[in-house]
Amino acid sequence: MTHRPARTSPAKPDSPRKIGLARALSKLGYCSRQQAFELIRQGKVRLNGATPKNPETPVRLGTDRIEVQGQALRPAGKMYLMMNKPRGIITTAADEKGRDTVYALLPPDSTWLAPVGRLDKATEGLLLFTNDSEWNAHITNPGTHLDKTYHVQIAAVADSALIESLERGARTENGELLRCKRASLLRTGEKNSWLEIVLDEGKNRQIRRILDALGIEVLRLIRVSIGPLQLSDLPKGANRPITSAELAALNRALG
């Protein structure tokens, strides 16, 4: 199947409001903000002919000239990718323990892309990347209540009482009430079951924590959709551009 990528027309210059130099490098798609801090402190970044050492030096994108090691930076085209994240991979640019990260799975010659939210090390499935920081913030804003669907294998035989408990909610050890928007049984065996769980908020490790509060062990956790965007048959560890039609549908879901 041939996918038509979302249009990547050059980004429009930002408003005259100034931002920090490190953030500017990230917004221009050159590198992460953390990497930008190091480049600036090493004197490899020039701003209007000067070499500032303060990563928070104010910059007006679209007006000021920024160079990295002699290369003038231009706004990158907007990019939107989806990945089928494998289990055991960290959602970060670099890991102090030397563990594999999702960036090892991205095209090596692509512009800098940030993950849209995170999946923990043990969680698999749909993960989005973009260099569109405003779109990223909109997707991850809890106020949008965008549905995210997961398939969950549990070490228990599920029944209607468990489904009701997931939707009614359970309190964690610290007293926080966690609930699922919807839950249903996909299939069950002699010792375990597969559930479909839908969330519309982004609390940290929400599914694992609510099942733990109910005394249920999670064996596998796979995110299969974000709004109308489906993981579908994307191979594990692979990535592809989000198509124009998919991007339009997702933006409609965001309102």
Which pLDDT belongs to residue 8?
47
Which pLDDT belongs to residue 181?
95
| Helical H segments across 42-189, by residue range | 133-140, 160-168
Same domain, 235 and 199: no
Rounded CA-CA distance 57/20 in Å is 5
Q: Which residue in 14, 120, 159, 200 is the catalytic one?
A: 120
Same domain, 139 and 171: no
> Does the annotation mark 120 as catalytic?
yes
Answer yes or no: is 84 within a domain.
yes
Q: Dump pLDDT digits (tens) for 174-184.
A: 888 999 999 99
Answer yes or no: is 139 within a domain.
yes
Which pLDDT belongs to residue 102?
94
Same domain, 129 and 239: yes
Helix (H, G, I), strand (E, B) or coil at 123: coil
Same domain, 134 and 160: no
- Check which CATH number belongs to the domain holding 118 and give it: 3.30.70.580
Structural domain for 181, as ranges: 147-226
- Check which CATH number belongs to the domain holding 31 and give it: 3.10.290.10
Same domain, 105 and 126: yes
Same domain, 59 and 129: no
- Tell me the mean pLDDT per 10 residues along the chain, length 255: 46 60 82 86 92 91 87 83 96 81 84 89 96 89 91 96 94 88 95 96 89 96 97 96 95 89
Residue type, 81: L
Same domain, 37 and 60: yes
Closest CA to 6 of 130, 134, 110: 130
Which pLDDT belongs to residue 197?
97
